[in-house]
Amino acid sequence: MAYIRVSLMRPMTGHEAEVESLNRELVAYYRRFPGCLAAYFVQAADGSGELGRVSIWEREEDADRAANDDHSLALRSRLHLLIQPGHQDRSFQAQAP
């Protein structure tokens, strides 16, 4: 069973490029962690302006370890200053059929 994390947000006006860059940096950083099966930068195809990241992990503990890493926490703190209120962070257990 895999563990999936999804983070979606809307940048504040004028901060779109920086929010994209920080999300891409987080994706690249997470890919280096043990237990990371895949990580992607995502951008809404519907014109809503939402963007974010999706990461797939072997276990929830692997995702937690990456999320609580000092560099990850610093990047995410910077993101929170540049996005609109109401961002979504969701987690899912994934099971193969």
| Joined tokens for residue 48 | 């809503």
pLDDT tens profile 47-84? 999 999 999 999 999 999 999 999 999 999 999 999 99
Instruction: Please give the Cα distance from 75 to 81 (Å, whole number).
Output: 10
- At 78 the pLDDT is 97
- At 30 the pLDDT is 98
Which structural domains are found in the chain, ordered by start? 2-94 (3.30.70.100)
Confidence at 1, pLDDT banded by 50, 70, 90: confident
Confidence at 2, pLDDT banded by 50, 70, 90: very high
| Joined tokens for residue 21 | 């860059």
Instruction: Please give the Cα distance from 5 to 91 (Å, whole number).
Output: 4
- At 66 the pLDDT is 97
Instruction: Please give the Cα distance from 39 to 53 (Å, whole number).
Output: 7
Mean pLDDT in residue range 14-31: 98
pLDDT tens profile 84-97? 999 999 999 998 88
